[in-house]
């Protein structure tokens, strides 16, 4: 136990907590599929099992060997000062781990909070849409505020946030912001190239799935995102 640092426990705990939350959420789409006898949740749960095994395995490895065992494989990184840069940037601090955990929980907050609020205050069904829009705005604002100081956590949370809003907002309205967000987190700051690359990627995806393969991408179920998605599909087909 002497070779384990608090950061090792925090990192393993974050991965295990994420796996547990995703496993609980998997019951929402636990359905049988005619062409696959194991059902819709088999592969997602298999991936979660691999995450758990990797997290526990890494913790046991550090418990047995400590950080010194990895010095040979990352010697080059240590020599060029990247390890010191990571420490100075705060990527090994408890605060960074907490910030990353909060970023990863934001998508699940969006998926659950609106229904809880509607039930708690006994609001009507019509209030669910407006509640979702308000929660989406708050979650996105909090994500943008936090990811500016934690790009790694932002990169991990962005795909989950995109997926959590896909059903309500639709692919056509959310995909441009997802692509721009990825480029921003990867260091791109030139607006001209961000717009060009976003338009190019979207153009290829829409032509491939909508015009060529006639695959229905999520249009969303909240106005005006639903109207916008249907307009794009009608235009391309």
Q: What is the gyration radius of the CA atoms in the chain, in angstroms?
A: 21
176 pLDDT more than 90:
yes
Any domain includes 162? no
More confident call, 76 vs 117: 117
In the predicted model, what is the mean pLDDT of residues 77-88?
47
Give the pLDDT score at 15.
84
Q: How far apart are CA 53 and CA 15, in angstroms?
A: 10
- Pair 17, 65 in one domain: yes
pLDDT digits (tens, 9 = 90+) for 8-54: 788 888 888 888 888 888 887 777 765 556 676 776 788 788 888 88
230 pLDDT more than 60:
yes
- Pair 82, 13 in one domain: yes
Q: Tell me the pLDDT band of 205, cut-offs 50, 70 and 90.
A: confident
- Pair 4, 45 in one domain: yes
More confident call, 237 vs 143: 143
Give the pLDDT score at 177.
94
More confident call, 15 vs 176: 176
123 pLDDT more than 90:
no
More confident call, 68 vs 46: 46
- Pair 135, 174 in one domain: no
Any domain includes 158? no
Give the pLDDT score at 91.
60
164 pLDDT more than 80:
yes
- Pair 177, 224 in one domain: yes
Any domain includes 165? no
Q: Which of 70, 89, 108 is the last residue of a domain?
A: 89
Q: Which of 104, 120, 153 is the last residue of a domain?
A: 153
CA nearest 135: which of 105, 107, 103?
A: 107
More confident call, 92 vs 141: 141
- Pair 56, 129 in one domain: no
Q: Which of 89, 111, 132 is the last residue of a domain?
A: 89
H/E stretch holding 111 reads helix 94-120
- Pair 85, 27 in one domain: yes
Any domain includes 225? yes
Q: How far apart are CA 227 and CA 225, in angstroms?
A: 5
Any domain includes 48? yes
Two structure tokens written together for 216: 């229905």
Any domain includes 106? yes
Any domain includes 160? no
157 burial level (CB within 10 Å; 0-12, 13-18, 19+): buried
- Pair 9, 76 in one domain: yes
Is 179:201 a contact under the CB 8 Å cutoff? yes
- Pair 120, 201 in one domain: no
213 pLDDT more than 90:
no
Overall number of domains in the chain:
3
172 pLDDT more than 80:
yes
Any domain includes 53? yes
Give the pLDDT score at 137.
95
214 pLDDT more than 60:
yes
- Pair 180, 233 in one domain: yes
Torsion angle defined by CA atoms of residues 196, 201, 203 and 206, in that order, rounded to the nearest 10 degrees: -160
Please tell me the least confidently modeled range out of 114-128, 130-144, 160-174: 114-128
- Pair 107, 76 in one domain: no
Backbone angles phi, psi at 33, to 5 degrees: -125, 135
In the predicted model, what is the mean pLDDT of residues 204-221?
81
Q: Which domain holds residue 220?
A: 170-237
Q: How many helices (H) and strands (E) does the chain have?
A: 10, 0
Length of the chain, please?
A: 237
Is 63:23 a contact under the CB 8 Å cutoff? no
In this structure, the number of other CB atoms found within 10 A of the CB of residue 216 comes to: 11
- Pair 73, 97 in one domain: no
In the predicted model, what is the mean pLDDT of residues 68-96?
53
């Amino acid at each position: 136990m002497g070779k384990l640092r608090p950061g090792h426990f925090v990192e393993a705990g974050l991965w295990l907590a994420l796996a547990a939350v995703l496993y609980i959420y998997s019951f929402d789409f636990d359905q049988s599929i005619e062409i696959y006898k194991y059902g819709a949740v088999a592969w997602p749960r298999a991936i979660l099992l691999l995450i758990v095994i990797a997290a526990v395995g890494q913790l046991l490895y550090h418990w047995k060997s400590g950080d010194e065992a990895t010095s040979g494989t990352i010697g080059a990184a240590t020599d060029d000062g990247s390890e010191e840069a990571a420490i100075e940037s705060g990527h090994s601090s408890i605060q960074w781990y907490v910030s990353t955990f909060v970023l990863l929980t934001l998508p699940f907050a969006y998926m659950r909070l609106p229904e809880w609020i509607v039930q708690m205050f006994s609001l009507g069904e019509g209030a669910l849409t407006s509640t979702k829009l308000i929660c989406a705005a708050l979650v996105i604002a909090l994500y943008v505020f936090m990811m500016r100081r934690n790009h790694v956590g932002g990169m991990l949370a962005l795909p989950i946030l995109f997926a959590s809003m896909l059903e309500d907002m639709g692919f056509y309205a959310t995909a441009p912001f997802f692509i721009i967000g990825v480029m921003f987190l990867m260091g791109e700051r030139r607006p001209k190239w961000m717009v060009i690359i976003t338009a190019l990627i979207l153009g290829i995806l829409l032509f491939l799935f909508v015009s060529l393969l006639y695959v229905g991408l999520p249009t969303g179920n909240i106005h005006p995102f639903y109207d916008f998605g249907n307009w794009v599909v009608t235009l391309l087909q």
